Amino acid sequence: MATTRKVIILGSGPAGYTAAIYAARANLAPLVLTGVQSGGQLMLTTLVENYPGFVEGIQGPELMETMRKQAEHFGTEMIAEDATAVDFSRRPFVVRAGEQAFESHTVVIATGASAKLLGLPAESKLMGRGVSTCATCDGFFFKDQNIMVVGGGDSALEEALYLARLGRRVDVVHRRDSLRGSKIMQERAFKNPKIEFIWDTVLDDIRDVDQGKVTSVRLKHAKTGALTERPVDGLFVAIGHQPNTQVFRGQLELLPNDYIKVKPGTTQTSVPGVFAAGDVQDHTYRQAVTAAGTGCMAALEAERYLEATQPH
């Protein structure tokens, strides 16, 4: 094993890159394990219009490339590997990426969360081309158009309520005949004249891959199997998110929903010296700018932790 690092950052979304920018500027020579697919969820979006600093908006992948270059500019080292195992029970901590092992005095976890998808072949082909997993990111593109939301939990209801302000009509397609979401959200959605529910129904197909945009969906009744077609311009899949915390299980405290538990108002996990930033510890806001903000907090907290525990 090579020399012990001051800080290793896991993940390369807005949280990871922001932590890297701050840590690099603080002379902590950070190493980022970017993951095999770098850039996080913004790599799956098109125009980002709510990240401050870009009057006309910026393409998600371009924003991430810019953050990456900014982190590299200050001397961040990047390795395109996923963390495959960690040992937070010993000090320095150990992070493994396949055959390689790295030691570090602090770790910032910024591995994010992944939107759950339906698994239809057309869904991935039309992602960012009418299919989205984020209403606040993409809803604006479907102003006065026909929008469909899939799911029956609070996320789906929240997305539907947000989208009802923009779209002509919002259909919520749910696989059962009752919602999982909270009563208050249900009431709000039921009261909204633009929102209509399509019960006991699943998506069977999304069209039109050949045109490179969403034009309609084929719906299947969950009980009768009957197929129907419905015109749609924007399809929002809101069936939940899964935080990317598998490798940390047993190493630090997770919440019952698998997100990393942090001390409120900080990025401190249950293991001193291990910090968590971005969506991996946030199931409420889930925005690029909040992820970046907590990435900054994690780097500052890591720096303070090092000052207190590793005096020069």
Decide if 138 is catalytic: yes
Assigned token pair, 245 = 């915390």
Angle at 258 between CA 240 and CA 286, to 5 degrees: 50
- Pairwise CA distance, residues 99 & 79, whole Å: 13
Residues 6+ apart with CB under 8 A from 178: 152
Which of 152, 243, 273, 278 contacts ligand NAP by CB under 6 A? 152
Letters for 163-182 (x = contact with ligand NAP by CB under 6 A, - = none) are ------------xx---x-x
For ligand NAP, give the closer residue by CB, 26 or 120: 120
78 to 117, contacts with ligand NAP by CB under 6 A? none
**Taken in order 170, 172, 178, 179, is the CA torsion positive or negative?**
negative
Could you say which of 82, 87, 137, 233 is catalytic? Answer: 137
For ligand NAP, give the closer residue by CB, 152 or 273: 152
Decide if 210 is catalytic: no
Which of 106, 146, 155, 244 contacts ligand NAP by CB under 6 A? 155
Which of 57, 61, 75, 153 contacts ligand NAP by CB under 6 A? 153
Q: How far is the CB of 161 from ligand NAP (least distance, A)?
A: 9
207 to 246, contacts with ligand NAP by CB under 6 A? 239-241
Could you say which of 87, 138, 154, 282 is catalytic? Answer: 138
For ligand NAP, give the closer residue by CB, 150 or 306: 150
Residues 6+ apart with CB under 8 A from 263: none
Q: How far is the CB of 116 from ligand NAP (least distance, A)?
A: 6
Q: How far is the CB of 182 from ligand NAP (least distance, A)?
A: 6
Decide if 200 is catalytic: no
Q: How far is the CB of 62 from ligand NAP (least distance, A)?
A: 28
Give the range of 33-41, 49-57, 151-159, 208-216 binding ligand NAP by CB under 6 A.
151-159
For ligand NAP, give the closer residue by CB, 96 or 180: 180
Q: How far is the CB of 133 from ligand NAP (least distance, A)?
A: 10
Indicate the pairing of strand 241-243 with strand 234-237: unpaired
Assigned token pair, 221 = 């009744």
The contact set with ligand NAP (CB under 6 A) reads: 118, 150-156, 158, 175-176, 180, 182, 202, 239-241, 283
